[in-house]
A and B are shown apart, each in its own frame.
Chain A
Amino acid sequence: MTAVLQISGLGKTYQSGHTALSHVDLTINKGEIFALLGPNGAGKTTLISIVCGIVTPTAGLVSVAGHDHAREYRAARSLIGLVPQELHTDAFETVLATVSFSRGLFGKPRDPAFIEKLLRDLSLWDKRDAKIMELSGGMKRRVMIAKALSHEPEILFLDEPTAGVDVELRRDMWQMVHGLRERGVTIILTTHYIEEAEEMADRVGVISKGELILVEEKHALIKKLGRKTLTLNLAEPLSSIPPALADWKLELAGDGHELVYEFDSQAEATGVPSLLRRMSDIGVGFKDLHTKQSSLEDIFVGLVHRDNNAAATGEAA
Chain B
Amino acid sequence: MISNLRGIRAIYQFEMARFGRTFWTSLMLPVITTALYFVVFGSAIGGRMSEVGGVPYGAFIVPGLMMLTMFTESISNASFGIYMPKWTGTIYEMLSAPLSPLETVIAYVGAAATKSVIIGAIIFATAHLFVDVQVAHPLLMVGFMLLMAVTFCLFGFIIGIWAQSFEQLQVIPLLVVYPLTFLGGAFYSLDMLPATWRTVTLFNPVVYLISGFRWTFFGQGDVAIEVSMGAVALFFALCLGIIFWMFRTGYRLKS
Contact = CB atoms under 8 A, between A and B. Distances in A.
B98 interface: yes
Contacts of B48: none
A89 B90 contact: yes
Contact of B17 (A53, A75, A91, A97): A97
A88 B97 contact: no
A119 interface: no
Interface string B7-22: 1011101100110010
A54 B254 contact: yes
B168 interface: no
19 contacts: A14-B255, A53-B96, A55-B254, A56-B250, A74-B100, A75-B98, A76-B98, A77-B96, A86-B89, A88-B88, A90-B88, A91-B88, A102-B10, A103-B10, A104-B10, A105-B7, A105-B93, A106-B98, A107-B6
Nearest to A97: B17
A141 B21 CA distance: 25
Given A88-B89, A92-B18, 13 more contacts: A14-B255, A15-B255, A54-B95, A56-B254, A75-B98, A82-B93, A84-B92, A88-B88, A90-B90, A92-B21, A93-B17, A102-B93, A104-B10
Contacts of B18: 92
Nearest to A157: B96
B99 interface: yes
A147 B14 CA distance: 15
B3 interface: yes
Interface of A: 14-15, 52-56, 73-78, 80, 82, 84, 86, 88-93, 97, 101-109, 147
- In this complex, which of A53, A80, A91 has the most chain B Cβ atoms within 10 angstroms of its Cβ? A53
A108 B98 contact: no
Contacts of A97: 17
B102 to A, nearest CB: 13
Contacts of A106: 7, 97-98
A143 to B, nearest CB: 11
Q: Is the interface of B mostly helix, strand, loop or mixed?
A: helix
Contacts of A14: 255
A75 to B, nearest CB: 8
Nearest to A76: B98
A56 B4 contact: no
B85 to A, nearest CB: 8
Interface string B71-109: 000000000000000001110111111111000000000
B49 to A, nearest CB: 46
Contacts of B99: 105
A55 B90 contact: no
A105 B95 contact: no
Contacts of A77: 96-98
- In this complex, which of B11, B14, B18, B94 has the most chain A Cβ atoms within 10 angstroms of its Cβ? B14
A108 B6 contact: yes
A73 B92 contact: no
Given A15-B255, A88-B88, A104 B7 contact: yes
B10 A105 contact: yes
Contacts of B6: 104-105, 107-109
